[in-house]
Amino acid sequence: MSYQVNLSAIKQPKEISTERLVLKPVSDEYQTFVFQYLSDHKVRHNMQLPTLNTKERQDAWWQKFSEWRNAGKAVQWCVFDKKTDTYIGLLTIKEIEIAVCRGEIGYSILKEHWRKGYGKEAASRVLQYAFEDINLHTVFAMISPQNEGSQRIVRGMGMIQEAHFKDIHFFEGKFYDLLQFSIINPSHLK
């Protein structure tokens, strides 16, 4: 069995789709869409992340992820409704550790699209890509205990909670707990 990561699937990701959604690899043409979620206080606060509501903050974020994408440390997709071409959110596999075939899944759905099943649908397709195209061995997610919607998404994809880290995340002057969920590539269990 090969435990080698397919680096080209990270650096040149393909467009993928689900029944209702199309996920397009992040590129400069989608920057305006991505900044919709980065500047949305409710979405970012729900993830206990700072709102990136200035051009300087957005440019710094874009530069960081551009470097990560180019180095094979992250892959990202913008999510659109297939029928209307409406932007729905951003899906990411980041913190990719090529030596151990591991990465963290993250997703941000604009609040007007919450509770429609888009998060689970898109995240499930990205998880499939992580296993079948990239060949990651393990995918994990770090989630706030208060973010029950996100916990439902990962549990619905078969991820199990492995840890509850106390006071590990610092946000707006306070420490917060994070839960770690993970799943092993089913093809590696055979």
Residue 144 neighbours by CB distance under 10 Å: 18
- The model's pLDDT over 149-161, given as tens digits with 9 standing for 90+, comes to 999 999 999 999 9
pTM to 2 decimals?
A: 0.91
- Crossing angle for the helix pair 55-71 and 31-38, to the nearest 10 degrees: 120
pLDDT of residue 39: 73
- Crossing angle for the helix pair 148-156 and 118-129, to the nearest 10 degrees: 50
Give percent of the chain above pLDDT 70: 93
Would the CA dihedral through 26, 31, 36, 41 be positive or negative?
positive
| Residues contacting 43, CB < 8 A, separation 6+ | 37, 108, 109, 110, 111
pLDDT of residue 122: 98
Task: List the 16-17 sheet strands across, edge first.
Answer: 16-17, 21-25, 75-81, 87-97, 102-109, 138-143, 174-184, 160-171
pLDDT of residue 161: 98
- The model's pLDDT over 118-138, given as tens digits with 9 standing for 90+, comes to 999 999 999 999 999 999 999
Residue with tokens 């997709």: 77
